[in-house]
Amino acid sequence: MQLDFEDVLASSIGRVMVIFLFFLSGIWLGSLVGGFALMVGARSLPDPEDVFMTPLLLVNVWIVLNVAFLAGMLIWIFVGDGLGCLAWGVLVGVESLFVMLGFTFGFGSPASVDTAIAWAVWLVVLVMLETGVWLVFQWRRSIWARQMAALGAENAMIRAQRDVEVSYPEPSEDVDGRN
């Protein structure tokens, strides 16, 4: 049996691209949640370009711990094959936490009512996001279970037909035409 190098390379590169997009979406959405909470806490209206600039909020005092966390998540994803709801939720939650920590517990940031509002909004938005992701995951699992049940019913029907044919074989004709 020959080894198909194109297939191996395509699947490897495809897996790396999926993991890259997985991390990119988690980091971007996590920083978006944290940035939104900070804007609501500061009582300012977001600009449209702020949506694309939110990953820059991760460059703060907590960058070293954030890089260590991302390295640990990368190992968890590659070794454990964990491209699921839980891994993505953890990634989004921790990235948004690093945004919040950088701008509310950084150097020279006083605790105020704005900070309390930002933390409350962060918690509410993060819970809503994680609940939505969990519900989509459960919806997809329900579709999968329905398809598996239909396949099981179809297999049972074919198995029953085969058992009937084995139990009651149709009479076959001999070579000379007699039964």
**pLDDT value of residue 95:** 94
Phi, psi of 172 (to 5 degrees): -105, 150
**For the whole model, what pTM was predicted?**
0.74
Tell me how far apart the alpha carbons of residues 161 and 153 are, in angstroms, rounded to a whole number. 12
What's the pLDDT score for residue 54?
A: 82
Give the per-residue pLDDT at 173. 62
pLDDT at 38: 86
Note the pLDDT of residue 70: 92
Residues lower than pLDDT 50 in the chain: 107
Separation between Cα atoms, residue 19 and residue 24, nearest integer Å = 8
